[in-house]
Amino acid sequence: MLTLRDRTRRDFLRAGALGFGGLTLPDLLRLRAAQGEPARTPRAVIMICLAGGPSHLETYDMKPDAPAGYRGEFNPIRTNLPGFDVCEHMPLQAKIADKLALVRTVQFVEPMQHELEEVYTGFPKAQHRPSFGAVVSKFRGGDPRLPGYVSLEYGTTTTSYESPQYLGATHRPLQLAGTEGVRTLSLHRDVSPAKLDDRRDLLKAFDTMRRTADARREGADMDAYTARALDIITSPKAREAFDLTKEPVKVRAKYGENRYEKYVYVGTKPDSQWDGHQFLLARRLVEAGVPVVTLRAGLWDHHGNVVSGAGGTIFSGMKTMLPLLDRGIHALVTDLHERGLDKEVLVLVWGEFGRTPKISQNGRDHWPETGFALFAGAVRAGQVVGQTDSRGERPKTRAVTAQNVLGTVYHALGIDWKQKVPDFTGRPIQLLDDGEPIAELVS
């Protein structure tokens, strides 16, 4: 009589003989699991930064029973996880809340300005600490044919908050675009991000980079790091990972039919671009073996006269943005699960603070007392950590810091947040002052 293991082995071998016939990827993963395949361990992180300060009260911590002047215009909807209500403009996430983990009580120490250092490093800007991506690059490494850290900030030069600081230039992020050519390790300046969807233009861009690299090797300004980075980005494996045309049209459509959609940020008409395919590119990169990918999605510093509403409000703006974010998160998370990557890849979504619970003529202003962090993938999903008070002003239970959030990332990837590295003067500096991971997510 065949045991369950024998039957599973027989079914798996039969699937192989049939070329996996009608089996789906989840079917194959179940068969592999039943065969006793070793558990997959976390190896990569995708961090999605909602720069500008996303309102917790219009997304994941709505207060419909708060007094007038506090509650917003949107309504909460139930998800497939009790106690995890979300905004009505995020119905796709409502279907996969059991695959998410929400922390509602993140507090920030950075002054109420738009400095992203605390999101990327865990410290205020004045402390000049290495970005978490550089830390992951240093201690996790990766395939030498691929960059150890990729930043998808189109059209920017290397930012201070993504700097490796004293960890060294080899852990600087590879950026896809910029204005300084080889120095920022960008694509050729004549190639716009839109052309990345055209395979011929993409390959031409890489070929141009190769010729540029060859020429600059003869110049004094080509240091070893830049040469190595260019070798990486022009390698066949990297070219494959960056080429979105390798994805079926159906998969690309999950992330957005039109790659460059627009949303309302200022005023009443769509005026800002949303690149949903950044989410897809991030997935392709970590799947290929890149340990850390960061991207910025949207503009979240909403102000506006909510009394007259003539110039647009936080509500009119977010009504156009939230469905785009919702689709991106849903597509990425479901994609990772369908590909069996959910145990290997950690996803983190957050911004530099929340918004003021009390509404003024300026809408909701900056509010570091409370913000959210949304996790998916390689943590314990299907839960909400922490509660805020009835107006969403401050944590009622389980307050955590930005360092705890990044400490959770480090813990998931097997990095000890207490270890020390020498700073520019040679003095040993601990990665985080208090990076105790959020226990509910990792225990």
Report the alpha-carbon distance of residue 38 to residue 16 in Å, rounded. 20
DSSP string, 183-244: GGTPSPTTS-GGGGGSHHHHHHHHHHHHHHHHHHTTSTT--HHHHHHHHHHTSHHHHHHH-G
As a whole number, mean pLDDT of residues 403-424 equals 97
Lowest mean pLDDT among 119-133, 199-213, 265-279, 338-352: 199-213
Give the distance, in angstroms, between the CA of residue 126 and the centroid of all CA atoms in the same chain.
24
Going by their DSSP bridges, the two strands 292-296 and 420-422 should be labelled as unpaired
pLDDT computed for residue 194 by the predictor: 52
Whether residue 162 sits in one domain with residue 266: yes
The predicted model gives 342-352 an average pLDDT of 97
Residue 14, pLDDT score? 40
Query: Do both 403 and 354 map to the same domain?
Result: yes
pLDDT for residue 96: 98
C-alpha closest to that of 135 among 428, 426, 442, 419: 419
- Whether 71 maps to a domain, the answer reads yes
Q: Give the confidence band of 201 by pLDDT, cuts at 50, 70, 90.
A: low
What is the spatial distance between Cα 392 and Cα 124, in angstroms, rounded to a whole number? Answer: 24
Residue 412, classed as helix, strand or coil, is helix
Residues 265 and 138 in one domain: yes
Q: List the structure tokens of 59.
A: 């997304």
Query: What CA–CA distances, in Å, run from 224 to 169, 216, 257, 410?
Result: 10, 12, 41, 28
Instruction: Say which residues have a Cβ less than 8 Å from residue 236's Cβ, sequence separation at least 6.
Output: none
Residue 137, pLDDT > 90, answer yes
177: in domain:
no
Rounded Cα distance, 430 and 401, in Å: 17
Identify the weakest region by mean pLDDT among 11-20, 106-115, 408-417: 11-20
- Residue corresponding to tokens 């990327």: 120
Joined together, the tokens standing for residue 194 give 């839109």
Residues 6+ apart with CB under 8 A from 5: 34, 35, 36
CA of residue 172 relative to chain centroid, distance: 17
Verdict on whether the full-model pTM lies above 0.75: yes
pLDDT in tens, 12-63: 334 333 333 444 444 544 454 455 555 678 999 999 999 999 999 999 999 9
Residue 75 inside a domain? The answer is yes
Distance between CA atoms of residues 218 and 228, nearest Å: 14
Residues 24 and 159 in one domain: no
Q: What's the whole-number mean pLDDT along residues 284-300?
A: 95
Does 393 fall in a domain?
yes
Tell me the mean pLDDT in the region 159-185: 71
Q: How many domains does the chain have?
A: 2
Q: Are residues 163 and 55 in the same domain?
A: yes
Q: pLDDT: is 37 or 412 the higher one?
A: 412
Q: What is the pLDDT of residue 144?
A: 82
* Domain co-membership, 325 together with 295: yes
Confidence class for position 178, pLDDT limits 50, 70, 90: very low
Share above pLDDT 90 across residues of the chain, in percent, rounded to a whole number: 60
Q: Decide if pLDDT at 113 tops 60.
A: yes
Q: What is the pLDDT of residue 398?
A: 96
CA dihedral sign of residues 66, 72, 77, 81 = negative
Q: Clarify whether residues 119 and 15 are in a common domain.
A: no
**What residue numbers bound the domain in which 426 lies?**
43-167+259-442
pLDDT tens, position by position, 219-249: 434 455 566 666 776 678 888 888 898 999 9
Mind listing the pLDDT tens digit for each residue in 376-396?
999 999 999 999 999 999 999
Higher-confidence residue of 443 and 199: namely 443
HSE-up of 124 (CA within 13 Å, CB side)? 9
The DSSP output letter for 266 is S
pLDDT value, residue 179: 33
If asked whether residues 129 and 144 sit together in one domain, one would say yes
Which whole number is the average pLDDT over 114-133?
Answer: 95
Structure tokens at 205: 């861009």
Mean pLDDT for 297-302 is 91
Is 346 a residue whose pLDDT tops 60? yes
pLDDT at 369: 96
Same domain, 349 and 398: yes
Query: Residues 145, 235: contact at Cβ < 8 Å?
Result: yes
189: in domain = no
Task: Examine residue 235 and state whether it is found in any structural domain, yes or no.
Answer: no
177 DSSP 8-state letter: -
223 within some domain? no
Give the end-to-end CA distance of the chain in Å, rounded to a whole number: 40
CA distance 299 to 272: 8
The pLDDT value given to residue 170: 87
- 27 with 62, same domain: the answer is no
For residue 16, give the 3-state DSSP assignment.
helix
- Residue 110 confidence (pLDDT): 79
Q: Is 281 exposed, middle or buried (0-12, 13-18, 19+ CB in 10 A)?
A: buried
14 and 163 part of one domain: no
Specify the pLDDT at position 436.
Answer: 97
Contacts of 291 (CB under 8 A, 6+ apart): 43, 44, 45, 136, 137, 140, 141, 142, 148, 149, 413
Query: 9-23, 266-280, 340-354 — which is least confidently predicted?
Result: 9-23
**Is residue 241 included in any domain, yes or no?**
no
**Would the pLDDT of 371 be above 50?**
yes
Do residue 401 and residue 319 come from a single domain? yes
At 204, the pLDDT band (50, 70, 90 cuts) reads low
- Average confidence (pLDDT) over 353-373: 92
Query: Is 28 in contact with 15 (CB distance < 8 Å)?
Result: yes
CATH number at residue 116: 3.40.720.10
Q: How large is the average pLDDT for residues 350-373?
A: 93
- pLDDT for 361 equals 82
